[in-house]
Amino acid sequence: MQHPLSLYNTLTRRKAPFEPLHAPFVGVYLCGPTVYSEAHVGNARGPVVFDVLTRYLRHLGYTVRYVRNITDVGHLEGDADEGEDKISKRARAQQLEPMQVAEQFANLYQAHMTALGCLPPDITPRASGHIIEQIEMVQQIIDNGFGYESNGSVYFDVPAYNAAGRNYGKLSNRVVEELLAGSRDNLAGQEEKRSPLDFALWKRADERHLMRWASPWSDGFPGWHLECSAMSRKYLGAEFDIHGGGLDLMFPHHECEIAQSQACNHPTNEAQVWMHNNMITVNGAKMSKAVGNFITMSQLFEGTNATLAQAYSPMTVRFFLLQAHYRSTVDITDEGLQAARKGYRKLMNGLRLLDKLREASLSSDVIKARTVAPVAEGKVPDTTTADAELRKLVQDCFVGLNDDLNTARAIASLFNLLRKLNGFHANPATLATVSAAALQEATDAYQTLVADVLGLVDEPRASAEDLLSLTLEFYQEAKATKAYDKVDQIRAALKTQGIVVKDTKAGIDWAYSEE
């Protein structure tokens, strides 16, 4: 299966045509959240980007297995090999079981991703559910000479790995000598390691750690980097097609993942293509709790963060994130989100036109104008050129997606196509200038790209309660003026919606029909 999709590979630092290892099957792995607190808006960018990627791959005809994990153990404070587990610390502070904390925030995260229009991954593995696989992987690394036990913990031996020619640092372009020079000033708590570059594969649990499992080395828990390597191998194989995540995970997390996979049996770079989405800033500044510009998903949807002036709907946020290429930074501002809301609504209004345009294109007047006008008077429309122009607008929409999933360019092209469709709607007579087939292709492509690939769906803005109250006001006015035909029409219309109007001494009320 050949398609023009090209993707930028962080590992090779170049863009190349995407060629799956085992077409038509494609394996995609995205690093998911550590569920010790509510996700912030930065945690949403990766899922939205890779949701569009998997949607587009399926549109191209591939059979995709999309895996996005949940980290519920092993992620220590400061992302280092020392300190308390983030989830355990939260559980201790709230006097809860760690899995209560993990379940609470995992459910909230998944609810927010669903609201953003992200389709559920095919598999959502949890680190705590794959301890056996992680222990087996640690044992392989030890047996292959790239891991060692120290005081019940197991560490990855980076110097031994590099001595074997495996090149730790190749993903992030880090030089080991420079890493060593930078690490010598921060050796606290590193006494168990042979080298400050070594990272934990398994940690012995001390009295602070509530989550622990038996292993050949100690009662403990897996290292943060290990879980993704083990789970991706289990569900996608020793080597798969695409591994994604935020740019902040490239080092050390993804670098360590590659090292672990190279040090196992069947050594690979884990994925053949490594994709990284860029970071999010707020009003030009890095998002930070200390600065006070940290925005959770709930705050964004509900408008409860002081950084922003109002709430923004999930689809507005999704459109906003897709307006930029995934490898570019995104700066969150009220102005940017308000502009995104306008753009999103324009695309939704476009969706509402499609059926009307298709119907108008097949009307007798348009068909007659295409085919029956006297040739002698030069009135028979030549649709060849207009069809080509319309099809070119459609093709341009796919050019951006094929160029490293450039959703920003695809959206700009969609607006060009929408401008043409709006012109047809404003002046239906111009539909005679294009063939019914070309118009059908254009409207189908618009619907597919907006709804199925970009995942943008209509968010009803009207409140059902407000509309019902307004309808009852019309009902009351019709009764007062004795317009009983209107009264009967309103009653009948509401009844089709399962609503019964009640005239009481206290006034007009309604109830759900019990029929």
Q: Is 59 annotated as a binding residue?
A: no
Give per-residue burial for 421-441: e unless 16+ CB within 10 Å, then b.
bbebbeeeebbbbbbeebbbb
Same structural domain for residues 39 and 155? yes
Same structural domain for residues 247 and 394? no
pLDDT recorded at residue 376: 43
Among 139, 75, 70, residue whose Cα is nearest residue 110 = 70
What beta strand segments (E) does 69-133 contain? none
Q: How many Å apart are CA 90 and CA 97, to the nearest integer? A: 9
Cis peptide before 216 (omega within 30 of 0): no
Percent helix, percent strand, percent coil in the chain, to nearest 5 = 50, 15, 35
Same structural domain for residues 110 and 52? yes
> What angle is formed at CA 63 by the lines to CA 62 and CA 64, rounded to 5 degrees?
105
pLDDT digits (tens, 9 = 90+) for 127-138: 999 999 999 999
Single out the residue in 229, 250, 277 at which a domain terminates: 277
Same structural domain for residues 422 and 507? no
Same structural domain for residues 12 and 95? yes
Whether 51 is in a domain gets the answer yes
Whether 295 is in a domain gets the answer no
At 12, which CATH number? Answer: 3.40.50.620
Same structural domain for residues 268 and 179? yes
Whether 240 is in a domain gets the answer yes
Domain with 218, as residue range(s), is 6-277
- The residues pairing with 221 across neighbouring beta strands, listed in sequence order, are 203
Q: How many Å apart are CA 480 and CA 487, to the nearest integer? A: 10
**Residue appearing with tokens 């949890």:** 126
- Map residue 310 onto helix, strand or coil: coil
Same structural domain for residues 168 and 257? yes
Q: How many Å apart are CA 220 and CA 119, to the nearest integer? A: 35
Same structural domain for residues 445 and 474? no
Among 242, 248, 257, residue whose Cα is nearest residue 53 = 242
Per-position pLDDT tens, the chain of length 515 = 446 899 999 999 999 999 999 999 999 999 999 898 899 999 999 999 999 999 999 999 999 999 999 999 877 766 666 777 888 888 888 888 889 988 999 999 999 999 999 999 999 999 999 999 999 999 999 999 999 999 999 999 999 999 999 999 999 998 877 777 655 545 555 678 999 999 999 999 988 778 899 999 999 999 999 999 999 999 999 999 999 999 999 999 999 999 999 999 999 999 999 999 999 999 888 887 667 788 999 999 999 998 899 999 999 999 999 999 999 999 999 999 999 999 999 999 999 999 999 988 888 777 777 765 544 445 545 567 889 999 999 999 999 999 999 999 999 999 999 999 999 999 988 888 898 899 999 999 999 999 999 999 998 776 778 888 888 889 889 888 988 899 899 899 998 988 998 888 778 888 888 87
Whether 506 is in a domain gets the answer yes
Whether 340 is in a domain gets the answer no
pLDDT recorded at residue 92: 84
pLDDT recorded at residue 186: 52
Whether 346 is in a domain gets the answer no
Q: Is 31 annotated as a binding residue?
A: yes
**Residue appearing with tokens 């080395």:** 217
Q: Is 397 annotated as a binding residue?
A: no
pLDDT recorded at residue 372: 58
pLDDT recorded at residue 76: 76
Same structural domain for residues 217 and 258? yes
Same structural domain for residues 446 and 481? no
Q: How many Å apart are CA 168 and CA 261, to the nearest integer? A: 12
240: left (phi over 0), alpha (psi -120 to 50) or beta: beta
**How many other C-beta atoms are found inside a 10 Å radius of the C-beta of residue 200?**
27
Q: Is 118 annotated as a binding residue?
A: no
Q: Is 289 annotated as a binding residue?
A: yes
pLDDT recorded at residue 380: 47
Q: How many Å apart are CA 2 and CA 424, to the nearest integer? A: 35
Among 493, 515, 490, 210, residue whose Cα is nearest residue 503 = 490
Single out the residue in 426, 453, 480 at which a domain terminates: 453
What DSSP character marks residue 79? G
Looking at the 3D structure of the chain, how many domains does it have? Answer: 3
Angle between helices 334-361 and 314-322 (to 10 degrees): 90
Same structural domain for residues 506 and 413? no
Q: How many Å apart are CA 126 and CA 117, to the nearest integer? A: 22
Cis peptide before 20 (omega within 30 of 0): no
Q: Which two tokens stand for residue 132?
A: 């056996």
What DSSP character marks residue 450? I
Count how many residues are written for the chain: 515
Same structural domain for residues 384 and 262? no
Single out the residue in 277, 306, 336 at which a domain terminates: 277
pLDDT recorded at residue 183: 55
Whether 319 is in a domain gets the answer no
pLDDT recorded at residue 63: 98
Whether 247 is in a domain gets the answer yes
pLDDT recorded at residue 375: 45
The answer to whether the CB of 45 falls within 8 A of the CB of 277 is yes
- Map residue 96 onto helix, strand or coil: coil
